[in-house]
Amino acid sequence: MTSDWLLALEQTGAMEVVRGSRAKVAEAVQRGADLRLFLVARGYEETLYFQQTYAGKSDAFAGLMTHHHSHEHRGQALVEPYFSFFKYDSLGAFSHIKWLPDNQVLQEPQPYQYGVYRWYVCDRWRVIYEHDKDGNALAGDLEELKDLIRRGCSLKVGVEQLFNLPGAGEQGPAHVCFLTIMQPLIKDGHVGANCDFVLSGTPQWPWSWEDEISLGMVWPWSSGEVIGHWAKPGALPFTREKAQCAMRWLVADRG
C-alpha cells in the first residue's frame, strides 16, 4: 500500500537531523500541508495528529493538538477526563497545558528527549482563493470556492497573523495558522467556516503555552472577518471578539 504521508524530517533524541530538513517541513506547512509526528517514548510509541499548524519565517513551524482528552493524570485513572493542549516543534521541548474539570489549570511543559522524532507531511492542499484582511481578492476565484463547498470537498483555511488576536498587546513575526474546517457555508455572497477548536499563543517565536494561551471557537469569513469566542484555560467565560485577517482557502486534491 502506498501512502500520501512523506517523511520530511527525522531527528534523534538529541535533536540532531539525520534525514530531511526543518526547512523542508516548514515549506510544506507554509503551503498548508497536513502534519504528523511519530515518537518513540519510554515504553510506548505514538503518532501525533495535529488539528492546527503554524508556519512562520524561515524554518519556524509547529503542530498544535487543540482538543486532546486524557483519562489518566500522572499515572492515576480519572473519573472525569480533561482537556490537554499540546504544541510540538523541532527545537526539542513541547508545551502542555491540562485543563481539569474543576477548572484547575496545570502547566506541564517538558524538554522530553524521545528516542526519535519523525515529521511526516501530506502535501495535498491547493489554494483556491486568497484575500487581504479587508476581503479584497488577491488570487483565485471565490465562485470556485463556493462550488467546491456545494460538491462536499475537503477544505481548510489559513489565517495570517492569528497570534496577534484577540487584542494582543504586541505584533509578532509574520506567520500563518492553518485551521481544520468542520462546517463550511455560503451566506450573503461570502464563504464562512465553523472551525475545529483553535489555539492562539504569544506573538513571538519560539513560543510556549507558559507565555500565553487562548482557546477559541472561531468563524473566519472570506470578507476578512474573523468572529471568535475566546477564553484562557481556567478563566471562563468566553468573550466575543471580531478582527480582520488575510486568509487563504484551500481544497484537498486527494482524499
Q: Note down pLDDT in tens along the chain; length 255 residues.
A: 457 999 999 999 888 999 999 999 999 999 999 999 999 988 889 999 999 999 999 999 999 999 887 777 777 787 778 889 999 999 977 899 999 888 889 998 776 778 899 999 999 999 999 999 999 999 999 999 999 999 999 999 999 999 998 655 568 899 999 999 999 999 999 999 999 999 999 999 999 999 999 999 999 999 999 999 999 999 999 999 999 999 999 999 876
Say if residues 22 and 12 touch (Cβ distance below 8 Å).
no
Domain extent, residue 155, equals 125-252
Q: Note whether residue 51 is domain-resident.
A: no
Position 234 scores a pLDDT of 93
For residue 166, what pLDDT is reported? 65
**What pLDDT shows up at residue 120?**
98
- The predicted pLDDT at position 111 comes to 67
Tell me if 242 is assigned to some domain: yes
103, 91 Cβ separation under 8 angstroms: no
Task: Return the pLDDT at 250.
Answer: 98
Within-domain flag for 19: no
Neighbouring residues of 180: CB distance < 8 A, sequence distance ≥ 6: 51, 52, 156, 195, 196
Give the pLDDT confidence score for residue 71 in this predicted structure.
74
- Split into its structural domains, the chain has a count of 1
pLDDT of residue 42: 82
Q: Is residue 22 part of a domain?
A: no
Task: Give the three-state DSSP class for 170.
Answer: coil
E-only strand ranges, 108-168: 116-122, 125-131, 137-140, 155-160
Burial of 9 (0-12, 13-18, 19+ CB in 10 A): buried
pLDDT at 255: 64
* Sheet architecture: strand order including 235-244: 198-201, 213-220, 225-232, 235-244
